[in-house]
Amino acid sequence: MDFNNVLREMVQPSIDTSLQEDAANLAAGVVVTEAANQPNAAASRDAFLKQVRSFGRDEGNGVSARLKLAGQLTEASHLGAVMEDDVDAIYEQYTKGVASAKGLAVVKTGSDTQQKSKLRTFIKLGALTSVDGRKTFEKTRDAYKEAVVQNGNKPLSKSPFDALLAAARMQIQYPDEILPDDFILTCVYPKTKDEKLEVDKLGAIVDSMDRLRVNEETPVSEDTEAVLQTAIDSLLQRIKDLGGTSAMKKAEEKLKAQQAKAEQVVAELKARRSV
Domains of the chain by residue range: 3-188, 198-274
Query: Which of 32-41, 91-100, 174-183, 198-207 shows the lowest per-residue confidence on average (mean pLDDT)?
Result: 32-41
Secondary structure (3-state) at 172: helix
DSSP state of 244: -
Q: Is 168 exposed, middle or buried (0-12, 13-18, 19+ CB in 10 A)?
A: buried
CB 120 within 8 A of CB 84: yes
Per-residue model confidence (pLDDT) at position 120: 95
Alpha helical stretches, state H, the chain = 3-11, 19-26, 41-60, 66-78, 87-102, 112-127, 133-150, 160-173, 181-188, 198-214, 222-241, 246-274
CB 104 within 8 A of CB 64: no
pLDDT digits (tens, 9 = 90+) for 211-253: 888 887 888 888 898 999 999 999 999 998 888 888 888 888 8
Rounded CA gap, 139 and 159, in Å? 16
pLDDT > 70? residue 116: yes
CB 16 within 8 A of CB 69: no
CB 58 within 8 A of CB 65: yes
Query: Which of 25-39, 185-199, 223-237, 244-258 shows the lowest per-residue confidence on average (mean pLDDT)?
Result: 25-39
